[in-house]
């Protein structure tokens, strides 16, 4: 009991610690998790999953993978297919059989596996997986269409790859009993369809029961998670690994059912996915042993090269031939295909079964699958930014500013930030209020920011800071509270600040951070704008530091934000005080020209130059 508790604690610390380190350094999180698990397992023997969990390890990993696929399915909206549908459908219809065929040929002719093992492993190689694709997409800013294709392929092809492996295994198992392919494959496909119907029926029941109040709010998340596990187990009783198809269908069906109740559980499901990805990666990499690594042959190295440079590129280029996907995006997709948890989990499952059928190469699958995971994660994780930039599919890498509310003050702010090369987007539901933004060429979006359709019609990924500045303070607070989970509580701002003495004021926990230390509200900034106040920018240097900038600022003026060289924005508010550095730009909101202050700043700079010129 104590050993299991220590193992669980170490898995959590290493998994979440690796993801935090990835956030701080920009390194691929999956690479760090893989390294952490390997060091904690085979190298230092701090974690021994088989010894700690025994027979429970396999079902734990299987259920974890099912929950991850379900969570991934919840992020797939059919409206995305308007832009990426041609590529996604081709990668499912043509990509799966082509990838299976090429992977099998590489397994037999390059890795030297016997045909049954090569065919089964070729089916497993079809998977890419949300556990590795989604962290890569979060880490790198990729244009919307290739990112959507990678996401859909990873989630949809995962259960299909498992189904390919099951079909191959059942055929070779029953072939010894005289069964033919036509006696094996059709029942398997029927079982897959039935499993999909089970997942769809469960999704429809949830979509029907949740809005009608049949499930209390505090039980919705537990009921949903329990339903996913139940659907997974029930479908696996119909056919091995068919549960992955069921939970994926269940997630996609729920995502497209317009169920408003799901919005409230998004933060929770995302947290569960992060914990599961971290835990499973640590456990699986810690399960490796040096005996499996020593079985690695030189032919396996050639096999990895074939998977990276032949199998994947040929699969993509053949599948997307004569499609509407541009060539630069095809080449990008041809390179990016990291494998993850599902590949290792399914390989480990069938390695034992193939050995029981008398195929000695079955034992090789575990080490070979880990080699594929490590090779693809390292190759694609460290090169995705470089390749995306080289092929022209890199999205906006500089952090952007999302402004909710179009009015003279926000237009002036947007114009100032554009001059500083910061991506800006002004969102408003009124076409008339957006007139000025349209006339001045400022990027805008006409629509309700809180509408769920906005999430699919508008790519919000490039915008890392939100400013809500409409005339309605309660609406601003609602917008900040809604996006705090996605952008971060410390990255959503609004005009005005709470008044602790006003009992009718909105609680601070519901609001965004207040812009300006002075707590200017909407009325305040509009009045000052009419009085001629303007936005100014001041660049700091070794000679002209923050104290100099503050001294030259007019007495009534207020510093708004600090812009780093890389584009990161840090706002001056009652809750935070950025630490200025040379090279930073300070954007302030101040009265029109103050000659006295300007002269004072010039005098200060002159004195500094004179002091530096004096001999020691």
Q: What is the DSSP string of 366-395?
A: HHHHHHHHHHHHHHHHTTHHHHHHHHT-B-
Residue ranges in 357-462 assigned as alpha helix (H): 364-381, 384-391, 408-419, 435-439, 452-457
* Angstrom distance (rounded) from CA 353 to CA 19: 34
Three-state SS letters, 177-193: CCCCHHHHHHHHHHHHH
- pLDDT tens, position by position, 412-449: 999 999 999 899 999 999 999 999 999 999 999 998 88
How many whole angstroms separate alpha carbon 313 and alpha carbon 277? Answer: 27
Q: Which of 147, 181, 310, 161 is nearest to 242 (CA)?
A: 161
Using one digit for the tens of pLDDT, what is the confidence trace for 98-109?
Answer: 999 999 999 999
| Residue pLDDT, tens place only, 378-409 | 888 888 888 998 998 887 667 889 999 999 99
**pLDDT value at residue 194:** 93
- More confident of the two residues 214 and 349: 214
Under a CB-based contact definition with an 8 Å cutoff, are residues 198 and 248 in contact? no
Please report which confidence band the pLDDT of residue 69 belongs to, taking 50, 70 and 90 as the band edges.
confident
Beta pairing, strands 585-590 & 558-563: antiparallel
- Is the CATH number 1.20.1530.20 carried by domain 2-70+89-190+278-391? yes
User: Which of 14-23, 32-41, 281-290 bottoms out in mean pLDDT, i.e. has the lowest?
Assistant: 281-290
Identify the pLDDT of residue 60.
83
Q: What DSSP assignment string belongs to 164-230?
A: HHHHHHHHHHHHTTT--HHHHHHHHHHHHHHHHHHHHHHHHHHHHHTTTTSS-GGGHHHHHHHHHHH
User: Cα(613)–Cα(324) distance, rounded to whole angstroms?
Assistant: 65
Q: CATH 1.20.1530.20 occupies which residues in the chain?
A: 2-70+89-190+278-391
Query: Per-residue b/e over 138-170, b at no fewer than 16 CB within 10 Å?
Result: ebbbbbebbbbbbbbbbbbbbbbbbbbbbbbbb
Beta strand pairing call for 400-404 and 424-428: parallel
All residues at 6 or more sequence positions from 126 whose CB lies less than 8 Å from its CB, including other chains: 95, 96, 99, 100, 103, 157, 160, 161, 164
Residue 588 CB contacts under 8 Å (≥ 6 apart), including other chains: 535, 536, 537, 538, 553, 557, 558, 559, 560
Strands 569-571, 558-563: pairing is antiparallel
Instruction: Output the furthest CA–CA distance in the chain (Å, rounded).
Output: 99
Domain 400-613 in this protein, CATH class: alpha beta
Pick the more confident residue, 102 or 255.
102
Q: What is the number of residues in the chain?
A: 616
**Could you tell me how far CA 307 lies from the centroid of its own chain?**
25
For range 193-207, the mean pLDDT: 92
Predicted confidence at residue 616, as pLDDT, reads 36
Per-residue confidence band for 335, with pLDDT thresholds at 50, 70 and 90: very high
Min mean pLDDT across 15-24, 276-285, 457-466, 495-504 is at: 495-504
- The backbone torsions φ and ψ at residue 324, rounded to the nearest 5 degrees and listed phi first, read -85, 0
Tokens of 282: 């640590």
Q: Helical H runs in 239-311?
A: 242-255, 266-286, 290-294, 298-306
Averaged pLDDT score across all residues of the chain: 82
Whether the pLDDT of residue 260 is over 70: the answer is: no
What does the pLDDT average to over 65-91?
A: 77
pLDDT digit string (tens) for 441-477? Answer: 999 999 888 886 676 667 777 788 999 999 888 899 8
For residue 264, the model assigns a pLDDT of 61
Token pair listed for 12: 């959590």
Beta-carbon neighbour count of residue 566 at 10 Å?
8
* pLDDT(598) > 60: no
**What is the location of CATH 3.40.50.720 in the chain?**
400-613
Among 340-344, 389-393, 590-594, name the most confident range.
389-393
Q: For 521-552, what is each residue's pLDDT tens digit?
A: 888 898 999 999 999 999 998 888 888 888 88
What confidence tier does 503 reach under pLDDT thresholds 50, 70, 90? low
Angle at 265 between CA 261 and CA 271, to 5 degrees: 165
Distances (CA, A) of 66 to 22, 281, 346, 415: 25, 14, 12, 47
- Confidence category of residue 198, pLDDT binned at 50, 70, 90: very high
């Amino acid at each position: 009991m104590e050993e299991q508790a220590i193992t669980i604690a170490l898995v959590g610390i290493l998994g979440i610690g690796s993801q935090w380190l990835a956030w701080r350094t920009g390194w691929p999180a999956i690479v760090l998790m893989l390294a952490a698990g390997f060091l904690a397992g085979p190298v230092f023997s701090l974690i021994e999953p088989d010894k700690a969990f025994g027979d429970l390890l396999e079902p734990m990993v299987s259920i974890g993978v099912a929950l991850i696929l379900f969570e991934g399915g919840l992020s797939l909206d059919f409206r995305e297919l308007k832009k990426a549908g041609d590529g996604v459908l081709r990668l499912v219809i043509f990509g799966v059989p082509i990838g299976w065929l090429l992977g099998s040929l590489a397994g037999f002719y390059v890795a030297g596996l016997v045909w049954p093992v090569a065919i089964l492993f070729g089916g497993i190689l079809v998977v890419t997986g949300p556990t590795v694709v989604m962290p890569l997409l979060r880490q790198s800013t990729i244009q919307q269409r290739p990112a959507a294709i990678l996401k859909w392929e990873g989630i949809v092809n995962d259960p299909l790859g498992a189904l390919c492996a099951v079909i191959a295994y059942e055929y070779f198992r029953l072939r010894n009993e005289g069964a033919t392919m036509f006696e094996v494959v059709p029942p398997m496909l029927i079982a897959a369809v039935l499993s999909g119907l089970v997942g769809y029926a469960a999704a429809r029941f949830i979509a029907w029961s949740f809005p009608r109040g049949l499930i209390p709010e505090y039980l919705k998340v537990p009921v949903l998670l329990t339903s996913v596990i139940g659907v997974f187990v029930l479908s696996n009783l119909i056919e091995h690994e068919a549960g992955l198809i069921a939970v994926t269908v269940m997630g996609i069906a729920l995502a497209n059912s317009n169920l408003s109740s799901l919005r409230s559980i998004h933060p929770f499901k995302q947290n569960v996915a992060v914990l599961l990805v971290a835990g499973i990666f640590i456990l699986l990499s810690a399960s490796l042993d040096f005996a499996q690594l020593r079985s690695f042959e030189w032919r396996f190295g050639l096999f990895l090269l074939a998977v990276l440079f032949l199998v994947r590129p040929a699969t993509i280029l053949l599948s997307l031939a004569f499609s509407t996907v541009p060539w630069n995006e095809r080449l990008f997709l041809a390179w990016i295909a990291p494998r993850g948890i599902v590949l290792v989990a399914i390989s480990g499952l069938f390695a034992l079964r193939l050995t029981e059928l008398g195929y000695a190469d079955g034992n090789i699958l575990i080490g070979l699958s880990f080699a594929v995971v490590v090779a693809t994660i390292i190759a694609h994780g460290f090169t995705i930014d470089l390749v995306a930039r080289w092929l022209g599919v890199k999205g906006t890498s500089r952090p952007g500013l999302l402004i909710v509310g179009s009015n003279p003050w926000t237009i002036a702010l947007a114009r100032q930030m554009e001059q500083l090369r910061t991506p800006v987007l002004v969102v408003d539901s009124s076409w008339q209020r957006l007139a000025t933004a349209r006339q001045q060429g400022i990027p805008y979006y006409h629509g309700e920011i809180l509408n769920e359709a906005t999430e699919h019609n508008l790519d919000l990924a490039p915008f890392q800071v939100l400013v809500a500045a409409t005339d309605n303070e309660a609406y601003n607070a609602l917008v900040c509270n809604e996006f705090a989970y996605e952008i971060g509580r410390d990255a959503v701002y609004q005009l005005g600040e709470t008044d602790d003495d006003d009992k009718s004021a909105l609680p601070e926990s519901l609001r965004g951070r207040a812009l300006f230390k002075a707590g200017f509200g909407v009325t305040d900034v509009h009045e000052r704008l009419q009085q001629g106040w303007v936005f100014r920018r001041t660049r700091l240097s070794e000679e002209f530091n923050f104290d100099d900038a503050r001294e030259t600022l007019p007495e009534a003026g207020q510093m708004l934000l600090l812009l780093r060289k890389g584009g990161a924005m840090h706002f001056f508010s009652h809750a935070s005080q950025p630490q200025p550095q040379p090279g930073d730009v300070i954007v302030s909101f101040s009265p029109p020209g103050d000659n006295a202050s300007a002269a004072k700043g010039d005098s200060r700079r002159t004195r500094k130059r004179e002091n530096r010129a004096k001999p020691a």
